[in-house]
Amino acid sequence: MVSPILSNIYLDRLDQFVETVLLPVNNRGDRRNPNPPYMALLKAVQKARSTGDHKKAKELRLLAQHMPSRDPLDPDFRRLWYVRYADDWLLGFSGPRVEAEAIKCLLAEFLREALKLELSQEKTLITNARTESARFLGYEIINLSADDKQHRALRRRCINGSIGLKVPVDVIRSQCSKYMQRGKPIQLAARIHDSDYSIVAQYQGFVQYYLMAFNVHRLWWLHRVMELSLAKTLADKFKLSVSKVFRRYKTTMPTPHGTLKVLEVIHHRGVDKEPLITRFGGIELRWQKRANHQ
């Protein structure tokens, strides 16, 4: 497609503006200063331990665990990140909202004056990553938070502040609706004139795209809906029952996470060419195995 290439050419000036103007101004400080209330609690923990009051020390330690160890309002620390794909871009900012608003205004002014583009107020949102999510390339971007997850050796929280990718719930529902009618998976009549190889191949791709999401296990329902729709489409094409379709096409394949059941079609192309193989289920089920072991 030509559109992403044209976007990269035209928005290269936006990249340069962000890299030369916004990033240098909004990145400062090596690390946030310690959070005074947190440090006060740690001192209280040490004092309780020194006096033998281990119960109080444990209570204070649990209280400190729900507080940031570094000052979230440190005026000497700022971070700004930027990523763009074609005409979809995202800025991540660590700092007060008023400064985020100022950055948005500078971007709007540059786009309007330099590139003759208007910044969409409806689509260009400022969200708090701890309580809200931002959409980027079909994913929800959030700031992970879990006070009970600690690094065993360092005894520090290892999740808080990390960026997490989620599969949006509305995306799952929207995809399921493509293969369902009246709440049940259905055959796709428009595909029954294709070869069985082509039919199976057309059911691939979506789940693989979301394998980076930490909640990818929620796609199990979509996987099941697509699998039944695929089986019903093949059954409609060859005038078979769904159970006979599974018996004809189901096989197993080895993966790093164990042997998985898949629907497989082998397309033979003659003596001199390697056969083409397409499967539904192998990569999609891998995350299910992984999720079950966590």
Q: Are 246 and 231 in contact (CB under 8 A)?
A: yes
What pLDDT, in 10s, does the model give residues 140-164?
Answer: 998 886 555 554 444 555 556 678 8
Specify whether the backbone of 116 is left (phi greater than 0), alpha (psi in -120 to 50) or beta: left
Q: Regarding predicted confidence, which is higher, 14 or 151?
A: 14
Residue 54 has pLDDT above 70, yes or no: yes
pLDDT of residue 229: 96
3-state SS class at 84: strand
Helices (H), 67-168: 97-114
Range from 49-63, 79-93, 149-163, 187-201 carrying the lowest mean pLDDT: 149-163
Pairing of strands 134-136, 88-94: unpaired
- pLDDT digit string (tens) for 189-226? 999 999 999 999 999 878 778 888 888 888 888 889 99
* Per-residue pLDDT at 122: 80
- pLDDT for the residue numbered 284: 43
**Which tens digit of pLDDT belongs to each residue from 106-131?**
999 999 999 999 988 888 889 888 78
Q: Torsion-angle region of residue 86: left (phi > 0), alpha (psi -120 to 50) or beta?
A: left
| Conformational region of residue 165, where left means phi above 0, alpha means psi within -120 to 50, and beta covers everything else | beta
pLDDT, position 148: 55
pLDDT in tens, 247-263: 999 998 887 767 888 89
Q: What's the whole-number mean pLDDT along residues 226-235?
A: 95
Q: Is the pTM of this model over 0.75?
A: no
13 — pLDDT class (breaks 50, 70, 90): very high
200 to each of 171, 185, 194, 230, how far by Cα in Å?
22, 16, 10, 7
Is residue 135 within 8 Å of 170, Cβ to Cβ? no
* pLDDT at residue 181 in the model: 93
Q: How many of the other CB atoms lie within 10 Å of CB of 286?
A: 19
Number of neighbouring beta carbons within 10 Å of residue 70: 13
Task: Tell me how crowded residue 140 is: count the other CB atoms within 10 A of its CB.
Answer: 19
H helix or E strand, kind and range, residue 251: strand 250-255
Dig out the tokens for 241 from the structure: 């029952």
Alpha helix segments (H runs only) across the chain: 3-10, 12-17, 23-25, 36-50, 54-65, 97-114, 169-177, 196-202, 206-209, 220-238, 242-249, 282-293
